[in-house]
């Protein structure tokens, strides 16, 4: 699988959040102290920048700290190593993707076209995390790749349910159907122009898939068989 190099143009889409400043009694401006969750979010934003810029293998705790503008010991207060930071990015952005597709009754009632539209819009709005997860991390081995495959499986299940309806028995489908649907929409998302209208793509894309409830009907036993 090809992937964009660390110096690809998409890295320029990143921007770091600036830390607000407040004035003290002497009129000097000093950094506002972040909460622990706020600091973690800042570090993860910087880790995303570092991984995208330098590549997964070349990124270090030093480069993450330098990108965040903080000391390395402060990074270690939140993550024991760069792998933990990478796993946190994978978990956070995977959860955001699945949330964008909808959960519960909302997700089950959405059409295939609607789910594909949500997926494509997500990849436009979160271009750098999407490319990091499904291109840069994909080229590595380990827990991060395993978790991404779980995300792909969940996306595939939702797409199949939308294509067939929530009452269909997905267990009767060949195991490759869900991954194939996920690979289809993911492949389109990778090549989606930033200025493209996802709504103009989701409709034709969903019509490529022609699953019918009969496609998952269990075979009837032959007459006289037990």
Are 96 and 184 in the same domain?
yes
Last residue of some domain: 60, 80, 100? 80
Domains of the chain: total:
2
Mean pLDDT of 171-183: 87
Residue 143 lies in a domain: yes
State pLDDT tens for residues 1-10.
Answer: 444 444 444 4
What integer pLDDT is reported at residue 91 of this predicted model? 96
Quote the strand ranges of 15-125, DSSP E: 21-23, 29-31
Are 98 and 192 in the same domain?
yes
What's the rounded Cα separation, in Å, for the pair 141 and 190?
21
Name the residue with higher pLDDT: 11 or 142.
142
Are 58 and 139 in the same domain?
no
For residue 70 the two structure tokens come to 């903080």
13-27, 152-166, 181-195 — most confident range: 181-195
| 128 and 52 Cβ atoms separated by less than 8 Å | yes
> 150 is in which domain, residue-wise?
89-212
What's the rounded Cα separation, in Å, for the pair 49 and 65?
11
Are 75 and 102 in the same domain?
no
Give the least confident one: 176-180, 184-188, 206-210: 206-210
For residue 97 the two structure tokens come to 């993707």
Instruction: Supply the pTM of this predicted model.
Output: 0.77
Are 129 and 200 in the same domain?
yes
Are 35 and 128 in the same domain?
no
Neighbour-count burial for 182-211, b at 16+ CB within 10 Å, e otherwise? bebbbebbbebeeeeebeebbeebbeebeb
State pLDDT tens for residues 130-155.
Answer: 998 888 887 677 899 999 999 999 99
Are 120 and 169 in the same domain?
yes
């Amino acid at each position: 699988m090809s992937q964009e190099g660390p110096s690809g143009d998409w890295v320029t889409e990143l921007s770091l959040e600036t830390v607000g400043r407040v004035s003290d009694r002497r009129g000097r401006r000093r950094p506002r102290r972040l909460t622990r969750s706020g600091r973690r979010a800042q570090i993860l934003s910087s880790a995303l920048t570092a991984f995208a810029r330098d590549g997964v293998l070349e990124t270090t705790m030093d480069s993450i700290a330098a990108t965040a503008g903080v000391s390395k010991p402060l990074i270690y207060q939140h993550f024991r190593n760069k792998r933990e930071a990478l796993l946190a990015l994978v978990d956070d952005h995977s959860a955001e993707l699945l949330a964008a597709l909808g959960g519960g009754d909302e997700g089950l009632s959405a059409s295939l076209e609607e789910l594909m539209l949500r997926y494509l819009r997500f990849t436009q709005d979160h271009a750098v995390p999407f490319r990091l997860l499904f291109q840069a991390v994909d080229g590595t081995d380990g827990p991060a790749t395993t978790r991404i495959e779980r995300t792909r499986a969940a996306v595939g299940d939702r797409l199949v349910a939308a294509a067939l309806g929530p009452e269909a028995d997905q267990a009767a489908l060949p195991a490759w159907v869900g991954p194939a649907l996920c690979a289809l929409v993911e492949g389109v998302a990778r090549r989606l122009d930033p200025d493209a209208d996802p709504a103009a793509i989701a409709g034709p894309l969903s019509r490529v898939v022609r699953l019918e409830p009969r496609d998952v009907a269990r075979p009837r036993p032959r007459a006289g068989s037990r």
